[in-house]
Amino acid sequence: MKDLVSIQDYLLSIADVGDWEGEEELVADRINAIYHAVWEKIPDDTSVDLIDRVLNEIWDQLRGSTIILDADEYELIDWAQAHMRKTLSNADEDEDDADDNQDHDDSDTDEENDEEDEEY
């Protein structure tokens, strides 16, 4: 599903990052480098919604924080990739829980149907 979107859709320009007191180009370059590094690690079967969530959350965490200027770019990339892995893992767990709940709901319905059949 990753093939349905392009990293180009997420890259930020100087105008997109807002006012960084003359450091807008550096901020845009850093966030784009982070996005490219994360993009390479996102599995191809990841849903578009989840990709969107991961990349937007990264910018939401860094926006307005001087950490994007103060920290080493590779540290930021490591953090962003760890965030991506955690988000994908949590999404997988949520999906598994939803599947388990659906299976449980289906078995309850089957039991109710069996009870109704016994009454007649």
Kindly state the tokens that stand for 41.
Answer: 């690690």
Q: How many domains does the chain have?
A: 1
Residue 107 in any domain: the answer is no
**3 vs 95, higher pLDDT:** 3
Residue 12 in any domain: the answer is yes
Residue 43 in any domain: the answer is yes
Residue 97 in any domain: the answer is no
Q: What is the mean pLDDT of residues 33-54?
A: 96
Residue 104 in any domain: the answer is no
Residue 32 in any domain: the answer is yes
Residue 54 has a pLDDT of 96
Residue 115 has a pLDDT of 59
Which domain, by its residues, includes 83?
2-90
Residue 100 in any domain: the answer is no
The secondary structure of the chain, three-state, reads CHHHCCHHHCCCCHHHHCCCCCCHHHHHHHHHHHHHHHHHHCCCCCCHHHHHHHHHHHHHHHCCCCHHHHCCHHHHHHHHHHHHHHHHHHHHHHHHHHHHHHHHHHHHHHHHHHHHHHHC
pTM for the whole thing?
0.77
Residue 51 in any domain: the answer is yes
